[in-house]
A and B are shown apart, each in its own frame.
Chain A
Amino acid sequence: MFVELKDVYYRYQAGEEDILRGVNLGIEKGEFVALVGHTGSGKSTLVQTINGLLRPSSGQVLIEGREIKEWESPIMVRKKVGLVFQYPEHQLFEETVFKDIAFGPKNLGWSEKEIKEKVKQAMDFVQLDYEELKDRSPFGLSGGQKRRAAIAGVLAMEPELLILDEPIAGLDPRGRRKLLDRINWLNEEQGITVLLISHRMEDAARRAQKLFVMNQGQIVLQGSPQEIFEQRDELYEIGLEIPPLNEVLWQLRKCGYPVRTDIFTIEDVEEEILRHWRGFRCSKI
């Protein structure tokens, strides 16, 4: 197992209530998994225990079989596990975009030339124009540009596990889709393990092979997107929705139409509806 959490508890301060209450979870190398749950369910806290930013109050976090607290240095953990925070402005602090993205790689002791190369590649990857933006202050970027810069800073370190906490919030729709396409590419072509936190169920359903559903500090459901979104009513009970197109299919089924509900792409849903409504088409005018 690449990453394993065993009965992890976490509370921010002694005497306060537990935010994580016995989390058990495993991620295999090369998997693309998604973590979903409503605000306050503990997602951001959970992923911070995986890159060593937070130390569990009890329980174990293991990477490649070794407990994080036994690693020689936190830098080595950060190199393996890249975390893109929910609020990108918390991640930007240098005076230029270049320095910001180069910050991680510098700590790894790479040469100037290598660093420049990685920064360029990473900016390219998130679609920030290197020449135009490298010398600008990160604080003068638009919201979506800041988000991209924060992601580039993590990618430049070439982590083996990439954790993205709501990476698409604040991105325009096209940017959102392209970024997710590229993350899928990293996973499929480069073998990078991905953990995506997203409020958008359609993204989790379409992108990930496996979903973890969190509620009140615990993993309450896990399985393939098909398995998870079959449990529509259970999800509603803990404040989650199913993807909008699946909501259409579910409601059709409730009206008595025997449509499939275990499909997620717009093409498949279109085909499924047309299959049942074929008789009602008229030729296009």
Chain B
Amino acid sequence: MAFIELKDVSYTYIEGDEPPVTALKNINLSVEKGEMIAIIGPNGSGKSTLAKLFNGLFQPTEGSVSVGGLNTSDQDKIWDIRQQVGMVFQNPDNQLIATMVEEEVAFGPENLGLPSATIKARVDEALALVGLEEFRQAAPHHLSGGQKQRVAIAGIFAMRPDCIVFDEPTAMLDPMGRKEVMATIQKLRSEGKTIVYITHFMEEVVDCDRVIILKEGEKILEGTPLEVFQARELIKDADLELPEVPYLVYRLREAGLQLPDEILTPESLVEKLCLLN
């Protein structure tokens, strides 16, 4: 059995006398331990809803979700599940509450009731991982967006979850902040963490093991990044777009230039063009 397994999962929001909204339909999905999967899809396609099913924040309306063999609808196990699956969201400001970085990171482990020496060790380790040791006494609201997001990641890491779900963690960041966060996620991956990564930026899924495309609550495609990049029609149908450089490469190939189709960065395009000449 895979680490996370969704079987025939549907989810419908029912609130007061508002019309019900079915956000997910019949999703089957499994995530192996140590894997990094990306979820992409247009606005309202159900990505954030799916994220909240992974750690039992939501229960499926139909079907089942299991994490590490535990069913998320088992109320006795819900805390075990939440501890196994951490979440990082889009807006760094809404996630940080403490007045000092190290307090922020210690917050989770303190809630677990760990002895203070253990807490300190975990905070040190987490700050080292995200590269913010020298900011431990800083006020979170004085940090840049990318740094804030790394503090949020450190706070989750200090809880020692097996899996971390990221819901558009770079949407609000500038290119530098985005690079910092992506590099930090790669570190978590090399620590063996399972990663679920939600994004609108197709350029960010390049390094993932597997990509899933959602559209109107349904899974319409699953494959390696390269497979997904080549499914141009489906991408278009799902209101998504190839990143600039792969799109340029696609057009140059259509125009007859003999370029390989796995070019994703300006550097590799330039290198291949120079080889042609």
Contact = CB atoms under 8 A, between A and B. Distances in A.
Given A39-B174, A172-B43, A270 B248 contact: yes
A124 B130 CA distance: 43
B138 to A, nearest CB: 13
B17 to A, nearest CB: 10
Contact of A40 (B144, B240, B247): B144
A119 B276 CA distance: 55
A150 to B, nearest CB: 13
Given A248-B270, A280-B257, A174 B91 contact: no
B11 to A, nearest CB: 13
A43 to B, nearest CB: 10
Interface in A10-39: 38-39
Contacts of A277: 257, 273, 276-277
Contact of B172 (A169, A172, A255, A274): A169
B149 to A, nearest CB: 11
Nearest to B242: A173
Given A39-B176, A170-B171, A273 B252 contact: yes
Nearest to B175: A241
B176 to A, nearest CB: 5
Interface in B232-277: 239-241, 243-245, 247-248, 251-252, 254-258, 266-267, 269-270, 273-274, 276-277
A252 B102 CA distance: 46
A140 B15 CA distance: 9
A172 B258 contact: no
B209 to A, nearest CB: 23
A243 B243 CA distance: 12
Interface stretch (A75-83, A105-113, A141-149, A222-230): A141-149
Contact of A174 (B144, B240, B269): B240
Interface in B115-131: none
Interface string A250-261: 011001010000
B42 A175 contact: yes
B13 interface: yes
Nearest to B44: A142
A136 interface: yes
A122 B100 CA distance: 42
B270 A136 contact: no
A283 interface: yes
A143 B168 contact: yes
Nearest to B240: A173
Contacts of A114: none
Contacts of B43: 142-145, 148, 170-172, 175
A145 B245 CA distance: 28
Contacts of A280: 257-258, 276-277
Interface string A162-200: 000010011111110100000000000000000000010
A89 interface: yes
B42 A174 contact: yes
B176 A38 contact: yes
Contacts of A40: 144
Contact of B168 (A170, A199, A251, A269): A170
Given A137-B15, A145-B44, A174-B240, 7 more contacts: A171-B43, A199-B173, A244-B266, A248-B248, A251-B267, A274-B255, A282-B256
Interface of A: 38-40, 86-87, 89, 135-137, 140, 142-145, 148, 166, 169-175, 177, 199, 202, 239-241, 243-245, 247-248, 251-252, 255, 257, 266, 269-270, 273-274, 277, 280-284
The 10 closest A-B pairs by CB, nearest first: A144-B43, A281-B256, A173-B241, A174-B239, A172-B42, A247-B266, A251-B270, A142-B44, A248-B266, A199-B174
20 contacts: A39-B173, A39-B177, A40-B144, A89-B91, A142-B48, A143-B168, A173-B200, A174-B42, A199-B173, A202-B244, A244-B243, A245-B244, A245-B245, A248-B266, A252-B273, A270-B255, A273-B257, A280-B276, A280-B277, A281-B257
